[in-house]
Amino acid sequence: MLEVSGLNKSFGSFQAVNGVSFSVPKGGKLGLLGPNGAGKTTTISMICGALHADSGQIVLNGAQISPETHALRKDIGYLPQEVALIMELSCADNLRFFGSLYDLNPAELKSRIDWALQIVGLIDKKDQVVRTYSGGMKRRANLAAAILHRPALLVLDEPTVGVDPQSRNALFDAIEGLCREGMTLIYTSHYMEEVERLCDDIVIMDHGKVIVQGPPSKILELARGERRVKISFDPPYEGAAERDFELPDLGPSLAALLNDLAQKGATVTAVQTSGATLEQAFLNLTGRELRD
Ligand SMILES: Nc1ncnc2c1ncn2[C@@H]1O[C@H](COP(=O)(O)OP(=O)(O)O)[C@@H](O)[C@H]1O
Ligand SMILES: [Mg+2]
């Protein structure tokens, strides 16, 4: 559905996006992960036609897109990182305004607005002025505006940042529902657990470059060597009731460790393991935490 290749973007002498390539199949759910400043927003701004690329190609459904190819953008729904709504209008009026930008007849527009409000859970609050909404409600209203034309590709830029837990759940339910209907998704985040829950493919970016693309299982493999084991002893062993170990695997290495401890006279009462996490994979790949 989307193929991005060799995308570059500089601001002055600073290269924010450096040779970024990735692809998303139809119905795919791609998580775009990276710490602040990695170049995620710049990348998707170019995909959504909000920013010119210096070089590289963006091909959507076989056609090359740029900010000039407006017609192709009807296939994209874009939730920008900053809320983009008219604060003095009600949510319903915002949706009527943004919906009027698409080729929908009035009856169609009305039913799309009801559909979108239902999905984001704002039907009861639709006549309230958006300025009085919480941060999370504004994001949900903005998502409603992004889906009115039922885009084939939905691009969400950090939809849950600064959002209260209730809105976060509502946003997740909405996004999962849209994915079930077959929408293709690009989900930008620096929260590993969100991407783990929603996405079937992950691109990790840092310093303007793609470090790796693959399904969560492949990314998790990159976190091998970081499996932690907590072992409890009773009576305490060498003065400790508990000790943490790092093992290359939870099979032979764990068995060898337990045998060794038994030989040294330790009585093991519990073994707690924590498997590889995407967070750990990220740290291994980039040498830094996902959240600064
Ligand atoms: N319009 C701009 N002018 C100058 N620098 C920019 C501009 N937009 C982004 N940058 C810089 O480019 C880098 C990547 O930014 P961005 O794409 O917003 O990262 P992310 O979304 O991953 O946090 C950052 O260092 C940011 O400061
Ligand atoms: Mg960003």
pLDDT at 225 over 60: no
Closest CA to 215 of 204, 200, 203: 200
Closest CA to 278 of 165, 201, 175, 193: 193
Nearest atom in ligand 1 to 158's CA = 21
Residue 229 belongs to what H/E stretch?
A: strand 227-237
CA distance 203 to 183: 19
Ligand closest in space to the Cα of 17: 1
Give the pocket of ligand 1 (CB within 6 Å): 11, 14, 16, 34, 36-42
The alpha carbon of 142 and the centre of ligand 1 are apart by a number of angstroms equal to 22
Residues with CB under 5 A from ligand 2 (ion): 40-41, 81
Nearest atom in ligand 1 to 208's CA = 14
Q: Which residues contact 282 (CB under 8 A, 6 or more apart)?
A: 33, 192, 204, 289, 290
Identify which has the larger pLDDT, 288 or 79: 79
CA distance 113 to 59: 29
pLDDT band at 247 (very low <50, low <70, confident <90, very high): confident
pLDDT band at 146 (very low <50, low <70, confident <90, very high): very high
Identify which has the larger pLDDT, 140 or 249: 140
Identity of the residue numbered 143? L
Nearest atom in ligand 1 to 36's CA = 23
pLDDT band at 276 (very low <50, low <70, confident <90, very high): low
- pLDDT for res 3: 96
Best substitution site from 42, 44, 203, 211 to test ligand 1's pocket, by max atoms within 8 Å of Cβ?
42
Domain 2-215: give its CATH superfamily.
P-loop containing nucleotide triphosphate hydrolases (3.40.50.300)
CA distance 245 to 210: 32
